[in-house]
Amino acid sequence: MQHPVNPFKLALRQQRVQIGLWHGMGNAYVAEICASAGFDWMVIDAEHVPNTVPSILAQLQALAAYPVAPVVRPGWNDKVELKQLLDIGAQNFLIPMIETAHEAEQAVRSVRYPPQGHRGVANALARAAKWGAVTDYLERANEEICVLCQVETARGLENLDDILSVEGVDGVFIGPADLSASLGYINQPDHPEVLAVIDDMVRRVRAAGKAPGILHGNVEQARRFIEQGVLFAAVGVDAGLLRRAATDLLSEFRGSPHPGRSAPSVYG
């Protein structure tokens, strides 16, 4: 068995826009329901969601039956956590809170075998290598891993060009909620000053030959970012979709919007 091409990484290289969904409920059954909708990619979040390696494995297995690319966000830029996620089959990584080129380099090295990195060799134990059945796994794995650095702070913004210069970084994901807070506009991700910064970041990422990405649950705003050049856009969060549908249904019977109904936001 030969190592397959990573379709998500290939799509970004070919500059084909990928529409995604944020999976924030940490449940394989929910992940499969969302996968059946036909999104190009889905984030399995372990930074703000109570996920563990076994629960992420279950979600990867649930998504495997569908033409959707799983993108795993670990809790931190941690080489031990990344090693485990690699071996259970994660190929696309969204690394949170990258603020310097050094941190980006650490992320890249953590997901690559020597000499490009320091990932431990245990392909006979790894689901990623089909427990040794992928005969060229060790030779091909490095080139098929996709590293997306999440830049979401003022310090990360200051060092953006250095982060983009790191070989092995495939894209930069802009986190509008944290970025706006870091810039002094907490809970105002659509403030004109924040939007201007994001537009400039998208331009700089594209100019560096990398793929820009973002999350925004407002349809018009998400479309605007895609028009600006974003190549991978998460256009909603499953938890937000469920909550909104539930409150909308309740309002049908109470005759007025439920007071717990939140306005559309970055998270949908």
The structure tokens listed for 118 are: 């320091």
Active site residues: 48
Cβ atoms 171, 148 nearer than 8 A:
yes
Backbone angles phi, psi at 224, to 5 degrees: -60, -45
Amino acid of residue 157: L
DSSP assigned state of 158: H
Helix (H, G, I), strand (E, B) or coil at 72: strand
Q: DSSP states of 85-112 as a string?
A: HHHTT--EEEES---SHHHHHHHHHHTS
SS3 content of the chain, % helix, strand, coil (to 5): 45, 15, 40
Sole residue written with tokens 């007025």: 256
Cβ atoms 90, 145 nearer than 8 A:
no
